């Protein structure tokens, strides 16, 4: 997490430039969202249907980015870690059809 704490504010600042569609930030959408979606979708696609993989990838990227954002603001590492664990359980249930495997507990 040290990297997020060091570079997180810069990431958010660059994201703002991409949201405003500043010409010099045009390539950031690929780095900040599309590349993460592609890789997450690829990983989930090994475990489920393409449609579910794409949906879980979008959700995973959104949750991950927001948890880092929250951590950068409130510095509550315990809450962020707990949220990651709960989200991981939710995803595993979705992938396993409602069954939680032992390594998820």
Residue by residue, DSSP assigns 60-88 as HHHHHHHHHHHHHHH--HHHHHHHHHHHH
Domains: count for the chain: 1
DSSP string, the chain: -HHHHHHHHHHHHHHHHHHTT-GGGTTHHIIIIIHHHHHHHHHHHTTS-HHHHHHHHHHHHHHHHHHHHHHHHH--HHHHHHHHHHHHHHHHHHHHTTPPPGGG-
Domain containing residue 7: 2-104
Question: Which pTM was predicted?
Answer: 0.81
**Tens digit of pLDDT per residue, the chain (105 long)?**
577 778 888 889 999 999 999 999 989 988 889 999 999 999 999 999 999 999 999 999 999 999 999 999 999 999 999 999 999 999 999 998 854 444 444
């Amino acid at each position: 997490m040290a990297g997020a704490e060091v570079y997180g504010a810069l990431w958010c600042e660059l994201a703002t430039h991409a949201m405003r569609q500043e010409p010099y930030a045009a390539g950031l959408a690929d780095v900040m969202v599309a590349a993460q979606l592609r890789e997450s979708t690829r990983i989930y696609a090994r475990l489920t249907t393409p449609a579910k993989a794409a949906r879980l990838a979008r959700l995973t990227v959104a949750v991950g980015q927001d948890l880092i954002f929250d951590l950068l603001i409130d510095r509550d590492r315990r809450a962020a870690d707990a949220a990651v664990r709960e989200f991981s359980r939710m995803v595993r249930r979705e992938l396993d059809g409602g069954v939680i495997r032992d390594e998820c507990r």
